[in-house]
Chain A
Amino acid sequence: MNPQALRHSLLTFLRPDQVYTDPAQLLTYAGDAGLDRGQPEGLVLPASAAEVMALVRWAQEHKVPLVARGAGTGLSGGAVAERGGLIVEFARMNRVLDVQVHERSAHVEPGAVNLDLDTLLAPLGLYYPPDPSSQRASTIGGNIAENAGGPHCFKYGVTTNYVMGLELVLADGRTVRVGGPAYDYPEYDFTGLVTGSEGTLALITAAYLRLIRRPPAVKTMMVAFDTLEDAGAAVSAVIASGLVPATLEMMDRKMIRIVEEFAHAGLPTDAEAVLIVEVDGYPASLDAQIEEIAEIMRAHRGHDMRVARTEAERAQIWYARKSAAGAISRLAPTYYLVDVTVPRSHLARMLAEVDDICERYELQVAHVFHAGDGNLHPLLLIPDPADQKFIQKVLEAGREIIERALARNGSITGEHGVGIEKRHYMPLMYTEAELRAMWDVKEVFDPEELLNPGKILPEPPPPLPGWPVVSIPSESLLVPTTAEEVAQTLAALATVGRTARVTGERPERLEPPPSSGGVWLSTAAFSGVVKLARDDLYVTVGAGTPLARAPTTSGRGRNAGGLGLSLA
């Protein structure tokens, strides 16, 4: 459709100030805060769920892709219309519809700005913890689509832990509510599925958010270190000791200096690394918390510890921290911000590896990141944005960093999403079976690929090979011992149309065998703690582990039980 025809068609159900098709105006929507670019064919700014619904039906009819966008602060190209189509900007749907103080929930439109919501909640004694560095501008809808994190997510969890329900428009124009203001609904967890799906499954028109009590008191401390490794080791030690401060943020010397120049927060500009540690809770508990952490810091050669004396001082420290990425352009006009996660016990070693890689590629790097989450954000500086050869070099270094993170059992993204930027890394992290499962979900929600096409998974993964035919079990009670065995058994049962019921009950206690040719599938063999990662604060257990059983480190391969269960 040419711009005039497109505009004309959209004006059948939208007002003139909601539709833009002038290419000159649209070039301002070609990008987000990352490096990827793509020119949309049009921009629409819906004001209500009804308009979103009409828009999706229109898009179905005309086969025009829709790319949802909040404030365009994303870093992975999630809101970039690289395959054309319309940008659906939610900035005007920005109301906080309701705050239930007693229920501790908020009902908000997707365009509400993260910090505006939290500012509104503060006087009510409530708190919405996910606080991405972009929170001054970024929207709740965008935060949900990317499953955003932030400094306080170390203690409080990421966006998905605070989304209780969503109002959605599906790709066929249906409106549905999934979840809601309460904790549990008897339905599939669509809320969890759509959160982090980057606009590829549905358009969000409202969200129910979980709120918590605002901590009655907060203390923020800065600690200086002479090496990055010492700081990294201090972070690992704090976590290993079981302490959970509200934040554990790290910046290196380059970053400290550049941020201090802009924000004047009193950062120690001659330190090689600084940690921003925040503790919260009852006022009387704070000094003890600080002292406990300070002791570990000193043991790792932390020095010049300074606690913010006033709320204004504290606010300035965070203002500085959250301006870091932008401030870097005082060193170079642009940068590539790598977002990877490693288990927290690997932090110091991973930092050293990143520096090695950058040295090898002769790149300048600055570090600012959520150390407590093991979420690194090396910023690779690009002195000349027009130098394609250099950018290629930067991207190659980025790839090496990602590969190193994966080798350490990490992730290709900590919080910025996959979008365009990371999609070609997906096969490095997931098996073909896992990619295929994701694609199957996408096809169910959006069979014609109209919702943010090309993001996360650019094209259908190859079809899976068939399972080798195995003999159909004759017993009515099966106790498989590996995930592979579970998969083969299920495939074999499916080919002959027999049903399986999964049970965690011990085989000897199962009474009547299931009727009509069905079988019991017992998870009894998947019992026990597979891995207890004390330093990284997680445990992997088999699906058949009795809840009451004390954690011991013995058992089989990674995640064996969990995988078996989800296939069943």
Chain B
Amino acid sequence: MTANDRLRDATFVSGLQQCVHCGLCLPACPTYHVFHTEMDAPRGRLALMAAASEGRVPLDGALRLHLDRCLGCRACETVCPSGVPYGALLETARLAIEAERTPSTAERLVRRLALHELLPRVDRLRRLALVTRGLQQVGLFKLADHLPLSLDRIKRMAALLPPEISTEFTRPGVYPPVGERRGRVAFFMGCVQEALLAHVNAATVRVLQHNGYEVHVVPGQTCCGAVAYHLGDEATAVELAKHNVAAFAGDYEAIINNAGGCGAMLKEYAALLGDGRAREFVARVQDVTEFLAERLHHAPTNPVPGRVTYVDSCHLRHAQRVVGPPRRLLAAIPGLELVELSRPDHCCGSAGVYNLLHPETAEIILDAKMADVAQTQATFVATTNTGCYLQVLYGVRRWALDARVVHVVELLDMAYGAGRKAS
């Protein structure tokens, strides 16, 4: 499809017309709080998209600048009384911009490497993680601090890596239920999640087993395609989606994932592929917290003493509209006190690869989040998404907070007496 086809598409145009410019989205937008300009708020971005659709502005310049600066957190969608499908409109506009644009050779190379050679290949990611872990252990990453300013981006990427990369990888196979068998579920493990936060996947499988589920870690599964899609590479996203739909075709009660960003993308497959198989796939996709909140067959009994605050994943909260379940699970853990953030609806600045592409803006947004986390005096910061986990982990170090970053299921895992001990 050409850029014009996308921009003149009836669904796109009517979606834009839904906006009545009331401005109630402004306070929900993290970038509005950084820049305080319309162009960096949903209402202004929609105005730019409408202008592009009518051919009043070119597809580079202001339009691209301000859409690039959007986190895609979709907090505006939750507060929009008019029901503007902002996320879908943003994707369409980004695809249109990409269709017009000729990226540099270097950019093409990096994209090719990341989107085709790395993210879809979890085996390669695991090996890369092991190498990185080795380099960390010999102290090589400390050298990153001494890199010249021109290599700032690499420096920041290094800072975002967890200090201790887990090697508790989850291999494909069937993991039997503990106790009474209650059902059969498939587990989607993700790409970066499995490489950098393998212990979260391991905990997820254990917690499901503990509640009586036979967990199938389906072979042949691959990256969900979210990174490619948000960068405007629809072809790659479609390819990965087809691959996953085929891999999870078996008879599973649910397809469980534990990363809000991936889950939101998996739930987009029906719209992306538009066929019956994809719809059938989407009907079964559930976040692990969504699934467990209804099926906590065994109440956790081991106390996990401490205060926990929950940092919502934007793609779980705003895209999937899953708000209560992770909180209900945390509240079910004995000894743990749940303290809400003052702005739980605000993004942490991770937003997929946003913190790599817009490090300065991401850091301002992160600092606002960490100030909020700090005032809760929490000893645990619970998350439900890979990017948030890594970003908040970086934030806790940056702010020198005495808090441990975990996924919600890790705390459940502890409360079942397995996994790492509560510290």
Q: Taking beta carbons and an 8 Å cutoff, which residues of A are in contact with B? A: 20, 22, 24-25, 27-33, 43, 45, 71-73, 89, 91-92, 94, 111, 113, 115-116, 134, 136-138, 259, 262-263, 323-330, 333-335, 385
A33-B23 in contact (CB<8A): yes
A137-B26 in contact (CB<8A): yes
B23-A27 in contact (CB<8A): no
Closest A residue by C-beta to B80:
A326
Q: Taking beta carbons and an 8 Å cutoff, which residues of B are in contact with A? A: 14, 17-27, 36-39, 43-45, 47-48, 51, 56-58, 61-63, 66, 79-83
* Among candidates A25, A89, A134, A385, residue contacting B36 with C-beta atoms closer than 8 Å: A89
Sampled A-B contacts (10; CB under 8 Å):
A20-B39, A24-B61, A89-B37, A91-B36, A136-B27, A323-B81, A325-B22, A329-B81, A333-B20, A334-B17
In the bound complex, CA of A327 to CA of B20 (Å): 9
In the bound complex, CA of A533 to CA of B272 (Å): 64
In the bound complex, CA of A370 to CA of B105 (Å): 61
Given contact pairs A27-B47, A323-B81, A33 touches B36 in the complex (Cβ within 8 A):
no
- Chain A residues near B81: list those with CB within 8 A: 259, 262-263, 323-327, 329
Given contact pairs A326-B81, A330-B83, A333-B17, A25 touches B62 in the complex (Cβ within 8 A):
yes
Q: How far is the CB of A397 from chain B (nearest CB, A)?
A: 19
In the bound complex, CA of A333 to CA of B21 (Å): 11
Given contact pairs A28-B38, A326-B82, A71 touches B26 in the complex (Cβ within 8 A):
yes
Given contact pairs A326-B80, A326-B81, A27 touches B56 in the complex (Cβ within 8 A):
yes
Closest A residue by C-beta to B65:
A25
A134-B23 in contact (CB<8A): yes
Q: How far is the CB of A193 from chain B (nearest CB, A)?
A: 27
- Chain A residues near B14: list those with CB within 8 A: 333
Which of A22, A91, A113 is the most central at the interface, judged by chain B CB atoms within 10 Å of its CB?
A: A91
* Among candidates A134, A137, A138, A262, residue contacting B83 with C-beta atoms closer than 8 Å: A262
B17-A137 in contact (CB<8A): no
A33-B20 in contact (CB<8A): yes
A73-B48 in contact (CB<8A): no
In the bound complex, CA of A29 to CA of B83 (Å): 22
In the bound complex, CA of A492 to CA of B157 (Å): 84
Q: How far is the CB of B26 from chain A (nearest CB, A)?
A: 5
The 8 closest A-B pairs by CB, nearest first: A326-B81, A28-B44, A323-B81, A24-B62, A91-B36, A329-B82, A28-B38, A327-B81
B63-A24 in contact (CB<8A): yes
Closest B residue by C-beta to A74:
B23
Which of A27, A32, A33, A43 is the most central at the interface, judged by chain B CB atoms within 10 Å of its CB?
A: A27
- Chain B residues near A385: list those with CB within 8 A: 17
Given contact pairs A326-B80, A385-B17, A136 touches B62 in the complex (Cβ within 8 A):
no
- Chain B residues near A94: list those with CB within 8 A: 36
- Chain A residues near B38: list those with CB within 8 A: 28-29, 72
B44-A138 in contact (CB<8A): no
* Among candidates B23, B43, B47, B79, residue contacting A138 with C-beta atoms closer than 8 Å: B23
Which of B25, B57, B62 is the most central at the interface, judged by chain A CB atoms within 10 Å of its CB?
A: B62
B61-A73 in contact (CB<8A): no
A24-B48 in contact (CB<8A): yes
Given contact pairs A72-B38, A89-B36, A329 touches B18 in the complex (Cβ within 8 A):
yes
In the bound complex, CA of A137 to CA of B76 (Å): 12
B22-A33 in contact (CB<8A): yes
Closest B residue by C-beta to A22:
B62
Given contact pairs A24-B48, A29-B38, A89-B36, A329 touches B62 in the complex (Cβ within 8 A):
no
- Chain B residues near A72: list those with CB within 8 A: 21, 23, 38, 43
Q: How far is the CB of A504 from chain B (nearest CB, A)?
A: 48
A137-B51 in contact (CB<8A): no
A27-B48 in contact (CB<8A): yes
In the bound complex, CA of A201 to CA of B39 (Å): 28
Given contact pairs A28-B44, A262-B83, A329-B19, A45 touches B39 in the complex (Cβ within 8 A):
no
Closest A residue by C-beta to B41:
A28
A137-B23 in contact (CB<8A): yes
B37-A136 in contact (CB<8A): no
Q: A27-B51, A326-B82, A329-B18 are in contact. List 8 more A-B contacts (CB 8 A).
A: A24-B62, A24-B63, A72-B23, A91-B36, A136-B79, A323-B81, A326-B80, A329-B83
A137-B21 in contact (CB<8A): no
- Chain A residues near B48: list those with CB within 8 A: 24, 27-28
Given contact pairs A27-B51, A327-B81, A329-B82, A32 touches B27 in the complex (Cβ within 8 A):
no
Q: How far is the CB of B142 from chain A (nearest CB, A)?
A: 35
In the bound complex, CA of A111 to CA of B36 (Å): 10
B82-A134 in contact (CB<8A): no
B39-A25 in contact (CB<8A): yes
B24-A32 in contact (CB<8A): no
Q: How far is the CB of A491 from chain B (nearest CB, A)?
A: 48
Q: How far is the CB of B178 from chain A (nearest CB, A)?
A: 37
B62-A73 in contact (CB<8A): no
Given contact pairs A20-B37, A28-B44, A89-B36, A329 touches B27 in the complex (Cβ within 8 A):
no
A136-B24 in contact (CB<8A): yes
Q: How far is the CB of A7 from chain B (nearest CB, A)?
A: 14
B51-A33 in contact (CB<8A): no
Q: How far is the CB of A89 from chain B (nearest CB, A)?
A: 7
- Chain B residues near A325: list those with CB within 8 A: 20, 22, 81
Q: How far is the CB of A118 from chain B (nearest CB, A)?
A: 13
In the bound complex, CA of A440 to CA of B48 (Å): 41
- Chain B residues near A329: list those with CB within 8 A: 18-20, 81-83
* Among candidates A25, A137, A328, A330, residue contacting B24 with C-beta atoms closer than 8 Å: A137
- Chain B residues near A115: list those with CB within 8 A: 27
Which of A20, A33, A71 is the most central at the interface, judged by chain B CB atoms within 10 Å of its CB?
A: A71
A33-B21 in contact (CB<8A): yes
A45-B37 in contact (CB<8A): yes
Q: How far is the CB of B254 from chain A (nearest CB, A)?
A: 26
A28-B47 in contact (CB<8A): yes
- Chain A residues near B83: list those with CB within 8 A: 262, 327, 329-330
Q: How far is the CB of B335 from chain A (nearest CB, A)?
A: 26
Q: How far is the CB of B250 from chain A (nearest CB, A)?
A: 36
- Chain A residues near B63: list those with CB within 8 A: 24
Closest B residue by C-beta to A261:
B83
In the bound complex, CA of A323 to CA of B79 (Å): 9
In the bound complex, CA of A324 to CA of B37 (Å): 25
A326-B37 in contact (CB<8A): no
Q: How far is the CB of A86 from chain B (nearest CB, A)?
A: 14
In the bound complex, CA of A20 to CA of B17 (Å): 26
A335-B36 in contact (CB<8A): no
B24-A134 in contact (CB<8A): yes
- Chain A residues near B56: list those with CB within 8 A: 27
A27-B57 in contact (CB<8A): yes
Q: How far is the CB of A172 from chain B (nearest CB, A)?
A: 28
Closest A residue by C-beta to B66:
A25
